[in-house]
Amino acid sequence: MHVIFVEPAFPYNQRQFVRGLRAAGARVTGIGEMPLDALPSEIRDWLYRYEQVPSVVHEPSLLEAVRRVQSREWVDRLETTVEAHIMAAAKVREACGIPGTSVKTSYLCRDKPAMKEALRQANIPCAQSIGSDSADDVRAFAETVGYPLIIKPRDGAGAAGTWRVRNDAELENAIAESHLEHGASVAVEEFIEGHEGFFDTICVGGEIMHRFVTHYYPNVLEGMRTRWISPQFITTNRLDSEGYDEVKVMGKKVIDILEIGTSATHMEWFYGPKGLKFSEIGCRPPGVGAWDLYCAAHEMDVYKEWGMAIVHGKPSQTPSSGYSAGLINLRPDQDGHIVGYEGLELLDELGGAVIDHHLPPPGSPTQPVEAGYMANAWVRLRHPDYDQLRRLLDAVGQTVKVRAQ
C-alpha cells in the first residue's frame, strides 16, 4: 500500500507515525514544509518519496503536491495526525478521490458547536453550547444558561485559548481577549462539574480495534492555570471494569454518529453530579505523548497498530493490560531560567517504574504554566496497580522540585 503522510517531521513524535506505517508494510510518501535534506536521517530512511510545500494547511499547495504524487503512481491513503491539518487533508482527499475521513466528519470533529449539536440531536448528553461571532449572542447565552461558562476557539485543541468565565466581568475580559468583537468566532458552553478523562481508539471501518481510557488529575483547565500543581494524566489497565461500560458505549455511539471510519480518535468526557457528559472528539490521536504511555502500559507498539489499521484493516498485537501508565508535569517555581533540581534521587529509587523523563539542563529558559503537560520537566511511570501508580506519581510531584530564577 502507498500512503501519503502529511508533515512527517513536526512535531517531534510525527516520526513515530511514519515508522508505524513502515512497520505495517506501507510505502510512505511524506509531504512537509522542511527541505528533504533538513529532515532527520531516520525519517529520510523510512520515507519512500518526499514533496516539500510552503504550508501543509494551504490547501492549493497540498492539493498540487498530492496530484504530483498521483501523476507518478497510485495513492491508496492520505493520512494526517495533527489537529490543525485535519480539514485541509480531508478536502484534498476528497478532491483527489482518495479514501479516508470525509470533509463532513472532519468538520464535525473540528467545529465544537456543530459537533455538539449533531450529538445532542442523537441524544448524546452534552453541555449546552453555541458557536458565535457576536458578543451580544454570547452575553445572551450567559444570561440564559448562567455561570460558570467555558469560552474557547471553535476549532481549538486541548485547553489552548480557553477561558473559564464566572461572572460578567470575566465574560467581558474573555470577549476582549478572544477578539470576538473583531471578527473572531468562539464556542461557548455550560461548565460541567466533574472528573475529566479521555477515551481513545483506533478504528477500522467504524469498528473499534483498540481502545484506551485515561484520567486527568486535576481537570485540564485547573492543571493548566495553577503553577503549584504538578498535573498528571494516567491511562488505566482496568478497562474491563464495569465502571467503564458507560463511557465505552458513549464512545462507540459518537464514532457511529459522526461517521468516523478508519482512523484514530480522541474523545474527552466528564463524569460528575449530572452523570456522564460528552465534551469533544477529534478524528486523530491524542497529543502530549499519550500513545507512548499506551505502548508502555500494554507492551505493544501502538504506532504500528495504527499503521496496521490503515494498511491491513486488522491488528497484529493484543494489548497486555499489564500496567497502568502516567505522566506528571513538573513546573519551575518561577519563570526565568532553570538553575537546578531537588529530590531526583527518588527517580533512582523508583527503578523499573520509570519509563522515561525529561529534565531540561540548568540554564534552560522556562516555559509558561499554560504551555502544556510536556513543557519544562516531566516524568513518566508505569505500575501494574493503578492506585499504586497514582501514589508514585504523587510522590514524584511532592519530592522532585524544579528551581528557577
- pLDDT for 143-160, tens place per residue? 999 999 989 887 665 555
Give pLDDT, residue 164.
87
- Residues 389, 393, 396, 402, Cα dihedral to 10°: 150
**Quick one: 58 and 132 in the same domain?**
no
What CATH number is attached to the domain comprising 148? 3.30.1490.20
pLDDT recorded at residue 152: 85
Residues 171 and 225 in one domain: no
Average pLDDT over every residue of 36-56: 97
Residue 345 and residue 234 share a domain: yes
Query: For residue 107, is it within any domain?
Result: no
Whether the pLDDT of residue 130 is over 90: the answer is: no
Domain assignment present for residue 118? The answer is no
Same-domain status, 305 and 247: yes
Whether 159 is covered by a domain: the verdict is: yes
Residues 285, 368 within the same domain: yes
Q: Do 184 and 239 fall within a single domain?
A: no
Q: Report the CATH number at residue 275.
A: 3.30.470.20
The yes-or-no verdict on residue 17 having pLDDT over 80 is yes
pLDDT-derived band at 253 (thresholds 50, 70, 90) equals very high
The mean pLDDT value for 267-279 works out to 95
Total count of domains within the chain: 3
Contact 106, 283 (CB under 8 A): yes
- Work out the average pLDDT over 47-61: 97
Domain co-membership, 387 together with 258 = yes
Domain containing residue 17: CATH number: 3.40.50.20
Q: Which three cell numbers stand for residue 342?
A: 531537588
Residues 185 and 233 in one domain: no
For 91, the domain range is 2-100
Last residue of a domain, one of 190, 206, 229: 190
- Paired with 213 in beta bridges are 199
Burial of 189-206, coded b for 16+ CB within 10 Å and e otherwise, reads bbbbeeebbbbbbbbbee
Mean pLDDT over each residue of the chain, to the nearest integer: 95
pLDDT for 157 equals: 57
Does the structure show a pLDDT above 70 at 225? yes
| Identity of the amino acid at 23 | A
Residues 206, 347 share a domain = yes
Q: Are residues 342 and 200 in the same domain?
A: yes
* Residues above pLDDT 90, as percent of the chain: 86
193 — pLDDT class (breaks 50, 70, 90): confident
- Specify if 152 maps to a domain: yes
Within this chain, do residues 254 and 376 fall inside the same structural domain, yes or no? yes
Q: Do residue 135 and residue 179 come from a single domain? A: yes
Q: Which of 190, 209, 233 is the last residue of a domain?
A: 190
